[in-house]
Amino acid sequence: MSTPSDLSQRPSRREHLLKRSHLVLLALGLLLVLALLAPTSSSLVGTLGRPDSLSLQYLRLLIAVQPNDVALKLRLAQTLLALGRLDEAGKLVDSLPRTDPRLGPVISRLAMQIHLAQYAQDPARAAREKQLVAQLVKEVEGQLDQPLSAEELLGLAASSLSIGQPELAGRIYLRLAVVDPKQRSKWLTEAAKQELASSQPAATKK
């Protein structure tokens, strides 16, 4: 049986148990104040941890305050991609201008990553809509115009194979043989394998 002292303590305990929704609203309100006071958005965006619903709301608040900040919208699109919200991420990226020489290549790379994720999510749709693969091939080829590391090129080769484009992967392996001369023999061998794989369907038809 509860004693009078126990009963008198219960209201005070309840006062300290804020609902999670109240805490979230409080945090978002604080973030909005910080966004208004911050000299640049990059200083606040740099404090974000892993993508989650809170960081998503945080970015939306920052963009509401600074609607013309392309870098913020780019970060929002990256967060949406990480959370699997591919259609929303794709629409946002498509709306971004690519005239900035610093951000343009980053936006193009992110657009490719989103389209690759959409392809992997629904390969049957890609089989029905051939233009999706054609678009991905164009986007991968566009990346080859940029100075890329061996790791980035290897990722592009894997992406090319994932969409059934061994000929494109072979070209990337040839590029790798130049960028990574220490493993030149390995990349040339891979390029030859992919060239052979790309010619097999044609040989079969004959």
Percent of the chain with pLDDT over 70: 73
Residue 90, phi-psi category: left (phi > 0), alpha (psi -120 to 50), beta (remainder): alpha
93, part of any domain: yes
Q: Decide: pTM greater than 0.75.
A: no
Residue 37 has a pLDDT of 47
Q: For all residues of the chain together, what is the average pLDDT? A: 81
Q: Specify the range with the lowest mean pLDDT, choosing from 11-15, 139-143, 196-200.
A: 11-15
Pairwise CA distance, residues 62 & 29, whole Å:
11
pLDDT for position 131 = 84
Residue 110 forms part of a structural domain: no
72 assigned to some structural domain: yes
Domain for residue 13, yes or no? no
Within-domain flag for 12: no
Question: What pLDDT, on the 0 to 100 scale, is given for residue 204?
Answer: 41
Residue 57 lies in a domain: yes
- Judge whether 141 lies within some domain: no
Span 44-61, average pLDDT: 74
Q: How far is CA 49 from CA 61, 71, 75, 109, 155, in A?
A: 16, 17, 12, 22, 25
| Of 9-13, 99-103, 185-189, minimum mean pLDDT range | 9-13
* End-to-end Cα distance, the chain: 90
141, 163 Cβ separation under 8 angstroms: no
| Residues in CB range of 202: below 8 A, 6 or more apart | none
What's the domain range around 45?
Answer: 28-98
Distance CA 95, CA 4 (A): 64
For residue 42, what pLDDT is reported? 53
Q: Is residue 15 part of a domain?
A: no
**Max intra-chain CA distance, the chain:** 93
Tally of structural domains, the chain: 1
Mapping DSSP onto H, E and C, the string for 39-75 reads CCHHHHHCCCCCCCHHHHHHHHHHHHHCCCCHHHHHH
The pLDDT tens digits of the residues spanning 31-52 come to: 555 545 444 555 555 555 577 7
Helices (H), 38-165: 41-45, 53-65, 70-82, 86-94, 104-121, 123-128, 130-143, 150-162
* Section 69-88 average pLDDT: 93
Q: Which amino acid is it at 99? A: T
Q: How confident is the model at residue 129 (pLDDT cuts 50, 70, 90)?
A: confident
